[in-house]
Structure 1
Amino acid sequence: MKSLTVVLTAALLGTTLFAAPARAGTPAPSAPVSAGEAPARLIPARPSPDDVRRSLARIARDSDGRVRLGVIGRSNEGRALRLASVGHGPTRLLYVTQQHGDEPLGTPAAVRLLWSLGVPRTAWHRWLLSRVTIDVVVQANPDGAVRNQRYNHDPEATGDYSEPGVGYDINRFHNPLTPIADNPVPESRAVLRLWRATRPQVVIDYHMQGRYRQPDGRETTASILWPTSPLAPAPAVTAARRLAVVNDAAMTRVAGANVTRYPGGDYEGIARNAYGILGSSSLLVELSDLPAEQVEFQIRTAFVSMLATAQAAADGSLRRADPARADTIPARGPALPGVLSPLTRVDAA
């Protein structure tokens, strides 16, 4: 992966996303002249829960405590649901990775982000982290991760959005209209309680999808979508559309991704909709399931999304983005012919 400096320099040349605005008498620091991005070996591309635990412990140690670790709950099998936080600013961001256990790439991206923001200590880092607090639920479905399955592990699961004898689809159980005590999914309950405790202005949920081709012949590498539930208030939807514009620009111009609009539904139990209903600027990011040689590219795409969101929230450009530009993000094309992927499914998120 390119160094953090290269990523930021590319952003400065191609967009204002990473440009901190100067204030009278207090000019904002520039992006760091030298700050190494987290090494790829810090965590595997498809990490186990133990890989996540070890990597986060190393980051907390190397950051001298600037990256703070916690546990927000336990999975159905008793595995820790790990929270990592960095920053102490008033604007709160929440990133969630790997709600579906077979969609792993957001997790290594989040671990690398935590290292990149928490370990180096430049004026730019101090500036950014004084303005935002980033909470990351790292690998929200550890039981599914160890089985490489979409669902959590609950052999007694029944009803809608479950696979009998297997478990529940975690990303259908964030319904804010359901009392948390009545929610049968411990992983979803934990994220809901975290949201209520922190009230983040921004929530981004990282997933993976199958492979799709656009009418111009290019392959989609990522798809995004804001809340579409009619229950989501208009200000939250507008803010989420601004968030989509910021992410589309960063992933396209900095990471080189081919970003499309995800064809998601309006069910209120999906995190993208649920946290929009609750008032957050909420976004889904789907990384396509590309061949092995492009895995690093996909991890970097998610990393750029996370970093661009933090920067835009810190410097105010997130509030200034034109929400109408979200309509220019092209719809996702059809599945790539002749390519079978377990992640090629309609509204899989």
Structure 2
Amino acid sequence: MEFRYLGNSGLKISEITYGNWLTHGSQVENDAAIACVRAALDAGITTFDTADVYANTAAETVLGEALQGQRRESLEIFTKVYFPTGPGGHNDTGLSRKHIHESINGSLRRLGTDYVDLYQAHRYDYETPLEETMQAFADLVRQGKVLYVGVSEWTAEQLRAGHALAKELGVQLISNQPQYSMLWRVIESEVVPASEELGISQIVWSPVAQGILTGKYRPGEQPPAGSRATDDKGGANMIAHFLNDETLTAVQQLAPIAADAGLTMAQLAVAWVLQNDNVASALIGASRPEQVTENVAASGVHLDADVLTRIDEAIGALAQRDPSLTKSPPHRVA
């Protein structure tokens, strides 16, 4: 496992981060989820990402249990706040001071830790003044409950505004967590240049496009049994826009490219996002320990320029690049 600095900070994180988004506490049994976390630890992953909204707080509990007994100082634990939790009351969502303070206390309790290394605004909240949000984050940093501040799926303009306020308050906004893959490249034209300017790194989610880039979904065929595309708890909805014959046919052209590089298709996809210098880490999830072992092998892989060119030729115009698709819900999701 190799490590990279997160933004303009002294914090190093593993360039593969283990995330327990759609699986833990929801799609797989706790024993299997814990086995995946243990596999991540065995593979050298030290960075773990979750959020209070995942499985309505259950994912944080599962992660906390899986990490029990580990040396806390050797781990980087990240979580997020914004989306509705609990019964979904009128203050159980958003980035108000009230919700942020109540959410961090619940997250720390579930994770079994006194602090998180990175606390992230899971989306931008149009209904709360940004000054209120950043002041609340700064307070948590001063209280020692949070070491660094990050965001997720913020636009370039939002990153600049948040970074400026954080700097005024004497805290560090060092990361953004966007979707990024060979098929989803919307951050490249605006978010990445702004982040490079500000000293913000990307921690990217879905580098294998929810499994599409593994090659297991084939044009004209039904999705494999037990795959995300067959999941009725949220997974199928997330992957639906990629499940068309044109995209699936193009993805199959990546198979010989991966083979020539001595990689699986999943490893090629994860290695591809790590070629971007502004990416500090690629988030991977798993429902089986062997998936962790496979994806971790992408750490430290260098892809030659001709490989990157062949990938671009295979995917072509199918890659989504519209920067306007980086956005948050216009109103708090209730």
Q: If each structure's helix is expressed as a fraction of its own residues, which one has the higher value?
A: 2
Could you state the TM-score of these two structures normalised by the residue count of structure 1? 0.31
Could you state the TM-score of these two structures normalised by the residue count of structure 2? 0.32
